[in-house]
A and B are shown apart, each in its own frame.
Chain A
Amino acid sequence: MIVSDQLSLDLPADPAQIGTARAFAARVGGHLGVGEETVEDIKLAISEACTEAIALGVLGLHLLVSVEPGAITFELEGQGVRDPLLSSKWFAELFDGPARLELVRSLFPDFAVVSEGEPFVLRFSVPAPATPTA
């Protein structure tokens, strides 16, 4: 039985690293017994959160997964700030930030931007799978 634990991953804020963040979150979710469909939703949420943080120009990504009785919380912290990517040539064709975050909120109702400053922090949670009792 897992009472309380935290798992984390630090990555540079590089678009090439978003897949690594997704894979980490998916593996943690799968390891903790989260259902396959929810794992796919988690991957999408993490990808959108990383995209938002990178678009805002953070330097590093800190992904923290907190495991507690009843819930698994995913928190992405964007650390440091440089020039935002929002003005880049093709970025204007992407979903804008509010639409991107609304997409995640439709999957995880408790999804929230915890801090909009520095650090930039996004958080959402999923119910922890029930642990079989002996």
Chain B
Amino acid sequence: MMSPERALTWVTYTSRAVRKEVSIDLELRTRTEGAWTILEVVGEVDLYTAPALHDRLVAMIDGGTRSLAVDLQGVGFMDSSGLGVLVGGLKRLRENGGQMSLVCREGSTLKVLTVTGLDRVFPIHATVADATAS
């Protein structure tokens, strides 16, 4: 049986370990493939990091990007903060006559897109090649 004293020790240790190991970074890399601009997102997207994604999307769209594939294969975690930013980007692109696809094959990111029904809003592809061929 885990005693309360032992649990407390464990929690203290874990809290320190978690604090030490958690460093949420978001990398955003952009490249062009034909008529498409690829935004590769790597890291975790939540309330803390979503503003960076938001700002990048707005800058790209304001800068003239009209065919955008957002590659989410490097995203280890995304919550509704990230989803909201993606939906905002899609809306902004469509208002400017653009299109937006997501690249996401598996994992928790695809699950949250499915649970929220956004897999019916965004074209979702398994690879960047599939997205840019559409």
Is the CB of B46 closer than 8 A to any CB of chain A?
yes
The segment from B33-41, B64-72, B83-91, B123-131 that touches chain A is B83-91
Interface residues of A in 8-35 (CB under 8 A from B): 8-9, 15-16, 18-20, 22-24, 27-28
Q: Name the contact of A7 in the complex, choosing from B7, B84, B111 (C-beta under 8 A).
A: B7
Contacts of A87 in B (CB 8 A): none
* CB neighbours of A130 from chain B (8 A): none
Task: Evaluate contact between B87 and A44: CB separation under 8 angstroms.
Answer: no
Interface size class of B (residues with CB under 8 A): 35 or more
Contact between chains at A99 and B80 (CB < 8 Å):
yes
- A18 close to B1 (CB less than 8 A): no
Given that A2-B2, A100-B80 are known contacts, is A93 also in contact with B48, CB under 8 Å in the complex?
no
Interface set of B (CB-CB < 8 Å, partner A) = 1-2, 4, 7, 10-11, 14-15, 17-19, 21-22, 24, 44, 46-48, 50-51, 54, 77, 79-81, 83-85, 87-88, 108, 111-112, 115-116
